[in-house]
Structure 1
Amino acid sequence: MCRWLAYSGAPIHLEKLIYGPEHSLIDQSLRATLGAETVNGDGFGVGYYGDGELAPAVFKDTKPAWGDRNLRELARHVRSPLFMAHVRASSGTPVQQTNCHPFRYGRWLWVHNGAIADFSRLKRDLVMAVHPELYPSIEGSTDSEVMFFLALTFGLSEDPPTAVERMVGLVEKTGRAYGVEHPVQMTVATSDGERLWAFRYSTERRSRSLFHSTTTQCLRELHPEMFETMELAEDARVVVSEPLRDMPDIWIEVPESTYTVIEHEVFEMHPFYPKFPK
């Protein structure tokens, strides 16, 4: 599968989270402890928002994240109030740049860990459900990108939780039509640059791991040599596939079948229920 993180708060350098902590995303690309695979070396990507109304910037490549000098340089110099980073372990689709996360459409970013079971059998039906105006923007061949464009089709920009619930409902209904018992396995993060949503769900109710940091003080304890002297806003939050440091008290495990939303000082958790098409 994959590992990812997302950050929302006062602008910080990307390297603070991608490289800094002892179990950083770079470390997880080599030594993941809670993932389906230990090594996540089939490419990487970062997506980050800046000032103004511009769409987020995306940088990704097929090389392993741990040895990429350009990623190191970018992470050292870029500051952002909201960013996502992802290291990939392919579930069967080719290792190519267009299959690396995050995926972008307009101001929206999307990262995913998990898989659609038997995607090759379900793919045609699912892709055909993407809105015709969105279809030309699909660049790669992954189930993750199809999930993103289905969510966009179902109104991601207007109501993200409902759009993702409808997307999952369609995938499950399609999977069952083909005899796939457990079609969906996912943790997902998506953002429009203002708000950040994260989802944890699987059909069999055994989802991949997902954690939230608790408070700004958590970040200072997480990596004091980097955050102690920084003026972090009280609303700073990190969402991760697995904790960046072995300090259980400062991480909240997102419950099964749950989504969260972060918007400035708002942090909420809500139950997640697929919405099946009629």
Structure 2
Amino acid sequence: MCRHVAYLGPPEPLGALLVTPPHALYRQSWAPRRQRHGTVNADGFGVGWYAGEDPVPARYRRAGPIWADLSFADLARVVRSGAVLAAVRDATLSGADAEAAAAPLAAGRWLFSHNGAVPGWPGSLAGLARTLPAEELLALEARNDSAFVWALALNRLRGGDEPGQALADTVLQVAAAAPGSRLNLLLTDGDTIVATAWGDTLWYLTEPGRRTVVASEPYDDDPHWHEVPDRTLLAASRTDVLLTPLKEPEPDPVPPAPTAPPKEPRT
């Protein structure tokens, strides 16, 4: 698993969100408090942020642990933003994708992160690959389950789906194809945050009209953090948070067993 966080609010230094709090994402890379799967998030990290009037976010991603990157310490001290998405990646099997596999993944104005895993990857989702245009498959940032889940959600966004619908339908589609998947997804366009709780923890903190934070786990002991129930879609802005239950995907119908044709009566 991984840990991730998204923030909408007054511009703050990245470090005030990601490093300074006592249980910030920085510390969660080696000492998460509520992570259910895995213990060390050292196989990459990334942060995406929106600056000024530019709708396309900037990203900084690396393949190593966040605590070992001295350049990030400087960047987090001076870069300020009012809209941020960041993640640290769980220790996983080695691969060739390096920092390309680190969230946030991006397209246009969107930033995306996946906290979870798809069992049986890639075979379990081979059938869903046929639902994507070939050019979208070839454009995957990385060859892992998170990048493929992002491609499914992005295809829905490009088709005109609202962000909440795109994430919800993607979760149900993947969960039906690969039961047991953990699919905590996090998406922002710099104005809104959409997330799913599906198999791991998700929390939010809000001061209506000022700031909203959505995270895998609280980064401090503020009593106003609220846990999101499992199987829930969260949609948030700087002013409010809406929670909508997600239904389990319908199982594939089992065809009835064939029956033998009736025997002809003997004459």
Whole-angstrom CA distance in 2 between matches of 1:81 and 1:10: 5
- The structural deviation recorded for 1:266 is 2.7
Seen in structure 2, the aligned counterparts of structure 1 residues 152 and 276 have a Cα distance that, compared at 3 Å, is farther
Segments of structure 2 that go 5 or more residues without pairing to the other structure are: 253-267
Which residue of the partner structure matches residue 265 of structure 2?
none
Contact 1:34–1:209 (CA under 8 A) maintained in structure 2:
yes
User: For the aligned residues, what is the CA RMSD?
Assistant: 2.1
Seen in structure 2, the aligned counterparts of structure 1 residues 172 and 241 have a Cα distance that, compared at 3 Å, is closer
Which residue of the partner structure matches residue 269 of structure 1?
243
Contact 2:2–2:115 (CA under 8 A) maintained in structure 1:
yes
Which residue of the partner structure matches residue 33 of structure 1?
33
- The structural deviation recorded for 1:272 is 2.2
1:49 counterpart letter in structure 2: Y
- The structural deviation recorded for 1:188 is 1.4
* Alignment of structure 1 residues 1-278 onto 2, 5 Å: 1-35=1-35, 36-92=37-93, 94=95, 96-155=98-157, 158-175=161-178, 181-182=179-180, 184-201=181-198, 207-215=199-207, 234-247=209-222, 249-273=223-247
- The structural deviation recorded for 1:98 is 0.9
Q: Tell me whether 166-175 or 135-144 shows the greater mean CA deviation.
A: 166-175
Contact 2:4–2:87 (CA under 8 A) maintained in structure 1:
yes
Following TM superposition, the consecutive aligned residue runs of length 4 or more in structure 1 with deviations greater than 3 angstroms are: 90-93, 273-278
Contact 2:8–2:190 (CA under 8 A) maintained in structure 1:
no
Whole-angstrom CA distance in 2 between matches of 1:138 and 1:242: 28
Specify the structure having the higher radius of gyration (Cα).
2
Higher helix proportion (structure 1 or 2): 1
After superposition, the C-alpha distances for 1:206-263 in whole angstroms (9 at most, x for unaligned) are x2111111327xxxxxxxxxxxxxxxxx33011111111234x221001111122222
Q: How many residues align?
A: 249
After superposition, the C-alpha distances for 1:4-62 in whole angstroms (9 at most, x for unaligned) are 11111111111001110111111110111211222110010001111224411111001
Whole-angstrom CA distance in 2 between matches of 1:46 and 1:16: 13
Question: SS at the partner of 1:155?
Answer: helix
1:28 counterpart letter in structure 2: Q
Seen in structure 2, the aligned counterparts of structure 1 residues 274 and 146 have a Cα distance that, compared at 3 Å, is farther
After superposition, the C-alpha distances for 1:75-120 in whole angstroms (9 at most, x for unaligned) are 1111111101111014446261111110001111101111111113
Segments of structure 1 that go 5 or more residues without pairing to the other structure are: 176-180, 202-206, 217-233
Question: SS at the partner of 2:247?
Answer: coil
Question: What is the aligned-residue identity percentage?
Answer: 31
Whole-angstrom CA distance in 1 between matches of 2:58 and 2:249: 32
2:195 counterpart letter in structure 1: A
Contact 1:9–1:264 (CA under 8 A) maintained in structure 2:
yes
TM-score between the two structures when normalised by the length of structure 1 = 0.82
